[in-house]
Each structure stands twice: as C-alpha cells, then as structure tokens.
Amino acid sequence: MNQDVVITCAVTGSGETQHKHPAIPITPKQIADACIDAANAGAAITHIHVRDLESGAGCREHDYFIEVAERVRASGVDVVLNLTTGMGGDYVVGDSVPTDPGPGTDFVMPIERVSHVDKIMPEICSLDCGTMNFGEGNLLMINTPDHLRIAAKHIQDLGVKPELEVFDTGHVWMANRMYEEGLIDEPPLYQICLGIPYGAPATTAAMKNMCEMLPEGANWTAFGISRHQMPMVAQAVLLGGNVRVGLEDNLYLERGKFASNGQLVEKAVKIVEMLGARVVGPDEAREKFKLTKHR
C-alpha cells in the first residue's frame, strides 16, 4: 500500500464531452481556473489539454497552452503542470481508400507533437507509449516505436519528466524498453490507463498485471474512466500507486450528478485518507518523482 499519495487531476481532456457536461472547461481561462480549483482541493499535479474555442473539441494550439500555463503560474497557487503530447497521433482510416485519412485525422511528426513543451517547459508531459484501436469506428491512436524514441529523446534533452501513458501490457513493454535504452531518466513515471476501449479493462487484475511489469524503483499512477474512476483510486493506493481523477476521465460525482474537478479531487482525498494514507502536496510530489522545476 502507498502511504504517501500524489493526486493528479486531468481537468478537461480532448474527448467529445463538451456536449455531455454543462461546464467542461474549454477556454484557457476556464482550464486554468479548473487547475487552480483542483490544486486547492488537494491535487499536486494537473494534466492539461486545450480545446478549440468555437467547437470545444480538443486541439494543439500553442497559444492556448501558453495562456493556461501563464494563468496558473501567475495565480500564486503551487501545482505541478503536466501537459499532454497525445494530440497529433490520431489517424482515421478512410472508408473507401484506407491510405486516405478520414475526417478527424490529426497525425503529425513527433517533434511537432511535443513542440509546445519547448515553449512552456512544464515539469511533466505525457508520452503515449503505443498504438491501439481507440473506441469504435476507424480511429487509431498511432505511436510507433521510432516516433516514441524521437519524442522521448527530445523530452529528455529538455529536462522534462515524461509520464509514460500505458493503455495495455504491450505499451508497458515499449516504455520499459525505452527506459532500458536510456531514453527515460530515473526514476521512470508511468500512468496506467484503464477502461478505454480497446485497451486494458478497469479491473484489479489488469492493474496488478501492469504494475507488476514495471521496473524496480518506478513511480506509477493509475486511473479508470467513468464509473470505474473512484474504485480504481482505492485499488491504486492498495497496490502501491498514486491516483488520477478529473473530468477528462469521468463526468459524474455520483449517479445523475455532474461533478467539478475540485469535487472529484475532494472525493479522491477522502478515499485515500479513509484507507489510512495521506495526500501529499506539490513539493513532496516533486521530490518523489524527481521533477525539475524550470519556472
């Protein structure tokens, strides 16, 4: 069991949830405010996506990432920033000609996918560690071994800690290989992502299997989506990990009641403390994960 738990809050994500929840953070100000609320509720880390201002869909606009970071940093609230680099890996297979990308494709080279990290220099950025079918339809999340190595080396050279996003056991294998090759500095940080079709399910067996594959000395966090969010909070703590909650992964505080990010963090804090562990702040998270604070 983990006695000193880091809580990450993923405040908005890139999914089509803007039509499903009345207050999904969309503008940079809304996203920054959500990060601040989550920090005040007990999150040491906030995981950040940005969204198109008109459609509300996820996007890669650098100016939006910069504005979010500047607003959070100027607020006086201390929280670790964790920027996504997952955008830019989506390929929708064409219905008639498979090599013609379908609507919704956003697929670019690895250095472009991490280019906003250069400008903002957060303490953490995500790195999706494999390719998978992403839900129904023809959407693929593509992260080839060569692309991952290029991105990992660039992130390492910046001095930013990559959070290794693993959605299935093969992704853990790939992340472990990059660590063995010296592309990931010690101690590695893994994010075990459960319940996303068609990756690993949000079950005790899946989480246990994946965390047992991690190298000695690794830090790890886990989450489950939707109704599995809070059960996976408890399970991660019991298995020795840290936890993630937030509106990226789950929209409800309880059945039929929409949540805010702060409320989800508060609920996770209660679960951690009821298990007899304690929630740590950003400075302890930095020490535990060996993060470099650039600004």
CB atoms within 10 A of CB 242: 29
Q: Considering its fold, how many domains does the chain have in total?
A: 1
Q: Is 150 exposed, middle or buried (0-12, 13-18, 19+ CB in 10 A)?
A: middle
Please write the tens of the pLDDT for every residue from 90-109: 999 998 888 899 999 999 99
pLDDT exceeds 80 at position 295 = no
pLDDT exceeds 90 at position 119 = yes
Which string of DSSP letters, residue by residue, matches 79-129? -EEEE---TTEEEEPPSS-TTSPPTT-EE--HHHHTHHHHHH--SEEEEE-
Report if residue 171 sits inside a domain. Answer: yes
- Please give the model's pTM, rounded to 2 decimal places: 0.96
Mean predicted confidence (pLDDT) in 219-236 = 98
Q: Is 284 exposed, middle or buried (0-12, 13-18, 19+ CB in 10 A)?
A: middle
Which residues are CB-contacts of 71 (< 8 A; sequence separation ≥ 6)?
28, 29, 32, 33
| pLDDT attached to residue 155 | 98
Both tokens of residue 54? 């008109």
| pLDDT attached to residue 98 | 87
Q: CB–CB of 14/49 below 8 Å?
A: yes
Report if residue 295 sits inside a domain. Answer: no
Q: Cα 245 to chain center, whole Å?
A: 10
Please write the tens of the pLDDT for every residue from 49-95: 999 999 999 999 999 999 999 999 999 999 999 999 999 999 999 98
- Residue 32 belongs to a domain with what CATH number? 3.20.20.70
Give me the phi and psi of 165, to 5 degrees please: -80, 115
pLDDT exceeds 80 at position 237 = yes
Give me the phi and psi of 195, to 5 degrees please: 95, 0
pLDDT exceeds 90 at position 292 = yes
Q: What is the mean pLDDT of the chain?
A: 97
Report if residue 294 sits inside a domain. Answer: no
Q: CB–CB of 83/70 below 8 Å?
A: no
Report if residue 260 sits inside a domain. Answer: yes
Q: What is the percent of the chain with per-residue pLDDT over 90, rounded to a whole number?
A: 96
192: containing domain: 4-289
